[in-house]
């Protein structure tokens, strides 16, 4: 377009003098040098980041695509003394999702929820979560995981982990324990030996795309170190026998609970430890705390008359009484201060041995009154009362043994027959091993001792002579005239002591009972201590001799025969023809 002014030569608009801008020459050069310097600076920065100091960019890239994955270690196996598996790990899958990528159609969501055993709405809530990762379910069976993989759902992924299984189920649940979904021990041996069983996880680095798929392995993989295997002292056959016996007793007597322990007195190994009620560690949903409690270890109770042999043994040891020393128990009552101690029956004069046979509270209280409180306390302390057995079990208790300086005469008297003192069943069974041995107390062991391993030396509590006399008294208890004739075991000499104690609740004794029996078998050559406790029997009988002693007899018969212990008394054959076996 041309513009014409009057009297002027016509010219184009762009050539209008008013639009001409004369720039200095130095300015153009300055701009050119500036642009060149900026370019050089950018090149230098790029060189610095990509060549000299490339960690920053590598870190940024790694944060988006690189993943350090844990390679889980296989948890160690738990087996019994015969090699039978009690706990083992099998491969399983964890199902996880990237919520942003998991856009499922309604039919896909229903199919996935059905395979996972979940509600569709609950699954959809997980998939609607914020973040880049969410577990949908842990420890999924391989066959179920394969069906999920076949669906080829977007944003749904799987990783390999391990699932713990327990072949013995409820029979050994309280002893073996269980693990959580993270493969860490939560109860029993699984927790007590956690560091050895767990092992050390491995490690590998991978490159993943935005959908979570592994596209490349980078670096060297550090292989996992599997956990150690544990061989327990437990004998699964005896465990099943013991568990069945206490379950039957609990149901028969409508009891709240029952427990039993079997100890090999030569080695201190725990061959069986069972509780009822129990639970299946393979299916723990909806379990109550009562079923999970290892009562033989975590619950303390007043042991009642099962404690009487100990102060009597102390009296024999110190020469205060002899086996046949007379004790006047008439008229069946003894008043100390404002309190009165009573016997179940009014006895007259009893020998020391008969005090145990008849289970006289008056007789043992009179024997205990001859000790200084410190003497009796030191004996109980040496037997392990008031101290945790240190087996490593979670929640194991030490019971209650008050300082001797605070004992009143009536308290010393009641403690002689098992009131005012509390113990766990494992503590009580452990203490009785001094009578099955030569008066020494050796530590207990959850694990099997090697053949060449020598059992640890014990602490001498009583002399062999004293122990021999106590054994004779314990055998009198199960024979005619004793309180536990139902503890007799065909073919074997056995002995033990009954206990029947009121339960203490809120500092007040109630009309609820704990029935106990602790025995030794066989008496000719003691090998096992068996302790039985039945909590709150309510079917009409509550005495230890009627409730707990028959359970001992059943367990003792099975244990002795399964271990090949020869008969030490004459028994009649089944045909009735007679004869010694």
405-447 residue pLDDT tens: 999 999 999 999 999 999 999 999 999 999 999 999 999 999 9
Q: How far apart are CA 515 and CA 499, in angstroms?
A: 6
- Name the 3-class secondary structure at 97: strand
Residues 496 and 509 both lie in one domain? yes
This prediction has a pTM of 0.81
The pLDDT value recorded for residue 295 is 94
Is 48 part of any domain?
A: no
Asked, as a colleague might, if the bond just before 165 is cis with ω within 30 of 0, I would say no
- Name the 3-class secondary structure at 68: strand
CA distances (Å), origin 131, targets 24, 101, 124, 135, 555: 59, 11, 15, 12, 58
Residues 198 and 276 both lie in one domain? no
Q: What is the CATH number of the domain that holds 436?
A: 3.40.710.10
Query: Beta strand pairing status for 459-460 and 440-441?
Result: antiparallel
Contact 429, 399 (CB under 8 A): no
Angle at 533 between CA 433 and CA 81, to 5 degrees: 55
Residues 224 and 259 both lie in one domain? no
The pLDDT value recorded for residue 34 is 81
- Name the 3-class secondary structure at 205: strand
Is 386 part of any domain?
A: yes
Matching residue, tokens 């990528």: 101
Last residue in a domain, options 231, 248, 265? 231
Q: What is the residue-wise DSSP string for 12-63?
A: EGGG-GGG-----HHHHHHHHHHHHHHHHHHHHHHHIIIIIS-HHHHHHHHH
Nearest to 368 by CA among 320, 311, 309, 305: 311
Residues 262 and 323 both lie in one domain? yes
CA distances (Å), origin 192, targets 90, 131, 134, 249: 21, 37, 31, 30
Q: Which uninterrupted H or E stretch holds 549?
A: helix 549-562
Query: Beta strand pairing status for 156-165 and 202-208?
Result: unpaired
Nearest to 441 by CA among 381, 368, 509, 357: 381
Is 581 part of any domain?
A: no
Matching residue, tokens 């694990």: 447
Give counts: helices (H), strands (E), the chain.
20, 21
Q: Which stretches within 157-288 are classed as H helix? A: 173-176, 188-192, 194-198, 236-252
Q: What is the CATH number of the domain that holds 192?
A: 3.90.1310.10
Number of domains in the chain: 2
Nearest to 79 by CA among 223, 235, 311, 260: 235
How many CB atoms within 10 Å of residue 505?
9
Is 24 part of any domain?
A: no
- Start-to-end C-alpha separation, the chain: 136
Contact 231, 448 (CB under 8 A): yes
Residues 373 and 353 both lie in one domain? yes
Residues 212 and 327 both lie in one domain? no
Burial of 3 (0-12, 13-18, 19+ CB in 10 A): exposed
Q: How far apart are CA 89 and CA 181, in angstroms?
A: 12
Nearest to 380 by CA among 406, 350, 412: 412
Contact 376, 314 (CB under 8 A): yes
- 461 forms beta bridges with none
Q: How far apart are CA 502 and CA 516, in angstroms?
A: 12
Residues 206 and 317 both lie in one domain? no
Angle at 325 between CA 321 and CA 329, to 5 degrees: 105
- Name the 3-class secondary structure at 409: helix
Q: How remote is the C-alpha of 84 from its chain's centroid?
A: 19
- What range does the domain containing 212 cover? 68-90+161-231
Q: How remote is the C-alpha of 278 from its chain's centroid?
A: 13
Residues 263 and 180 both lie in one domain? no
Is 469 part of any domain?
A: yes
The pLDDT value recorded for residue 581 is 28
Is 525 part of any domain?
A: yes
Residues 253 and 183 both lie in one domain? no
The pLDDT value recorded for residue 207 is 61
Is 29 part of any domain?
A: no
Q: How far apart are CA 474 and CA 543, in angstroms?
A: 17
The pLDDT value recorded for residue 580 is 28
Residues 6 or more apart in contact with residue 240 via CB below 8 angstroms: 168, 171
Residues 440 and 536 both lie in one domain? yes
DSSP state of 171: G
**pLDDT of the chain along its 581 residues, tens only?**
555 555 555 656 556 665 565 667 677 777 777 888 888 888 877 777 676 766 665 665 555 555 565 666 788 999 999 999 999 988 888 888 877 777 888 888 888 888 988 888 888 888 887 777 788 888 888 888 889 888 888 888 887 778 889 999 999 999 999 988 788 898 999 999 999 998 877 766 656 555 555 555 566 667 778 889 999 999 999 999 999 999 999 999 999 999 999 999 999 999 999 999 999 998 877 676 788 889 999 999 999 999 999 999 999 999 999 999 999 999 999 999 899 999 988 999 999 999 999 999 999 999 999 999 999 999 999 999 999 998 888 889 999 999 999 999 999 999 999 999 999 999 999 999 999 999 999 999 999 988 777 777 789 999 999 999 999 999 999 999 999 999 999 999 999 999 999 998 887 888 899 999 999 999 999 999 999 999 999 998 999 999 999 999 999 999 999 999 999 887 554 433 333 22
Copy the structure tokens of residue 141: 């069976």
Q: How far apart are CA 440 and CA 348, in angstroms?
A: 34
The pLDDT value recorded for residue 578 is 33
Residues 222 and 341 both lie in one domain? no
Is 300 part of any domain?
A: yes
Q: Which residues of 321-333 are buried (b: 16+ CB within 10 A; e: fewer)?
A: beeeeebebeebe
The pLDDT value recorded for residue 22 is 61
The pLDDT value recorded for residue 234 is 97
Point out the residues that are catalytic: 305
Residues 265 and 216 both lie in one domain? no
Q: Which uninterrupted H or E stretch holds 138?
A: strand 134-140
- Name the 3-class secondary structure at 391: coil
């Amino acid at each position: 377009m041309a513009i014409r002014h009057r009297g002027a030569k016509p010219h184009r608009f762009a050539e209008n003098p008013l639009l001409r801008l004369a720039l200095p020459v130095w300015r153009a050069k300055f701009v050119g040098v500036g642009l060149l310097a900026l370019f050089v600076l950018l090149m230098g920065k790029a060189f610095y980041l990509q060549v000299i100091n490339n960690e920053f960019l590598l870190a940024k890239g790694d944060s988006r695509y690189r993943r350090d994955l844990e390679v889980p270690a296989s948890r160690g196996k738990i087996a019994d003394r015969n090699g039978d598996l009690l706990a083992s790990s099998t491969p399983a899958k964890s199902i996880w999702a990237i919520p942003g990528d998991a856009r499922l159609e309604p039919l896909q969501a229903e199919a996935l929820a059905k395979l996972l055993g979940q509600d569709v709405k609950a699954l959809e809530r997980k998939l609607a979560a914020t973040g880049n990762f969410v577990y949908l379910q842990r420890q999924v069976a391989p066959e179920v995981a394969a069906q999920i993989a076949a669906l080829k759902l977007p944003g749904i992924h799987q990783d390999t982990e391990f699932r713990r299984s327990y072949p013995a189920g409820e029979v050994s649940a309280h002893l073996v324990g269980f693990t959580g979904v993270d493969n860490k021990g939560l109860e029993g041996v699984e927790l007590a030996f956690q560091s050895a069983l767990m092992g050390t996880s491995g490690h590998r680095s991978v490159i993943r795309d935005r959908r979570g798929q592994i596209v490349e392995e980078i670096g060297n993989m550090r292989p996992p170190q599997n956990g150690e295997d544990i061989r327990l002292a437990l004998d699964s056959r005896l465990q099943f026998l013991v568990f069945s016996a206490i379950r039957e007793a609990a149901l028969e007597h409508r009891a709240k609970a029952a427990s039993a322990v079997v100890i090999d007195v030569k080695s201190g190994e725990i061959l069986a430890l069972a509780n009822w009620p129990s639970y299946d560690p393979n299916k723990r949903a909806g379990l109550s705390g009562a079923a999970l409690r290892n009562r033989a270890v975590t619950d303390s109770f007043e042991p009642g008359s099962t404690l009487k042999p100990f102060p009597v043994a102390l009296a024999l040891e110190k020469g205060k009484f002899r086996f046949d020393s007379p004790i006047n128990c008439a008229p069946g009552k003894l008043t100390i201060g404002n309190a009165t101690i009573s016997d179940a029956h009014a006895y007259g004069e009893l020998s020391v041995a008969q005090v145990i046979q008849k289970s006289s509270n008056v007789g043992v209280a009179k024997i205990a009154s001859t000790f200084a409180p410190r003497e009796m306390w030191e004996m109980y302390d040496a037997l392990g009362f008031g101290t945790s057995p240190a087996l490593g079990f979670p929640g194991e208790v030490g019971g209650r043994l008050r300082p001797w300086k605070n004992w009143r005469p009536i308290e010393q008297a009641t403690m002689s027959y098992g009131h005012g003192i509390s113990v766990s069943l494992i503590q009580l069974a452990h203490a009785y091993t001094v009578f099955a041995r030569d008066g020494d107390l050796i530590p207990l062991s959850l694990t099997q001792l090697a053949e060449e391993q020598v059992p640890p030396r014990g602490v001498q509590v009583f002399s062999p002579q004293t122990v021999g006399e106590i054994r004779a008294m314990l055998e009198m208890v199960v024979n005619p005239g004793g309180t536990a004739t139902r503890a007799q075991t065909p073919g074997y000499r056995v002995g033990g002591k009954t206990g029947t104690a009121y339960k203490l609740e809120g500092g007040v004794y109630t009309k609820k009972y704990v029935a106990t029996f602790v025995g030794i078998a066989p008496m000719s050559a003691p090998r096992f201590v068996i302790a039985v406790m039945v909590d709150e029997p309510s079917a009409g009988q509550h005495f230890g001799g009627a409730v707990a002693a028959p359970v001992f007899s059943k367990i003792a018969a099975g244990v002795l025969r399964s271990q090949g212990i020869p008969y030490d008394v004459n028994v009649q054959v089944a045909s009735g023809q007679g004869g010694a076996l």
